[in-house]
Amino acid sequence: MRRAERQVKGNAVKGETLFKNMCAGCHSFASNKSGPSLDKIFNRPMLGAKGFNYSAAMISANMRLQKTEDNYWNKTNIMAFLANPVAFSGSNHFVVGEHQKRNDLAKFLKDKSRGVYLFGGNY
């Protein structure tokens, strides 16, 4: 089951719709809102949005993860963070319960970070 789940690929167009519905109330790609800016989030270090006041839990998760450089956002840790933010980082973050939705969101965020996703705005 787990291996099969990992093979499910994300769809950036669906991911953008999910982003608008689930994330854009708190996140933009242009500036900080109640959540940090997600501009170029892939390969960006955790706590990378300048001027954003991160939680103590997130700061301590970053200190732990940066020892192995796992504090750079990639598909694996974005998926883990969205699936179970408390387990991943201690943060009381919004949860995305469905694996396929996380995949679609991750694909959208990745393409958006690389500038290969040409639709949509900066929310």
Binding footprint of ligand HEC on the chain (CB under 6 A)? 22-23, 25-27, 34-36, 38, 41, 46-49, 54-55, 57-58, 73, 78, 82, 91, 93-94, 96, 105
Q: Closest distance between ligand HEC and the C-beta of residue 66, in Å?
A: 12
Shortest Cβ 5–ligand HEC spacing (Å): 18
Q: Is the dihedral of CA 19, 20, 26, 28 positive or negative?
A: positive
By beta-carbon proximity to ligand HEC, the closer residue of 1 and 34 is: 34
Helix (H, G, I), strand (E, B) or coil at 27: coil
Nearer to ligand HEC, 34 or 68 (CB): 34
- Residue 77 CB contacts under 8 Å (≥ 6 apart), including other chains: 65, 70, 88
Contacts of 11 (CB under 8 A, 6+ apart): 103, 104, 107
Question: Are the C-beta atoms of 34 and 43 separated by less than 8 Å?
Answer: no
Compute the least distance from the CB of residue 1 to ligand HEC, in Å. Answer: 23
Structure tokens at 61: 């998760």
Distance of closest approach, residue 67 Cβ to ligand HEC, in angstroms: 17
Please say which residue, 1 or 115, places its beta carbon nearer to ligand HEC: 115
Nearer to ligand HEC, 3 or 33 (CB): 33
- 72 strand-pairing partners: 45
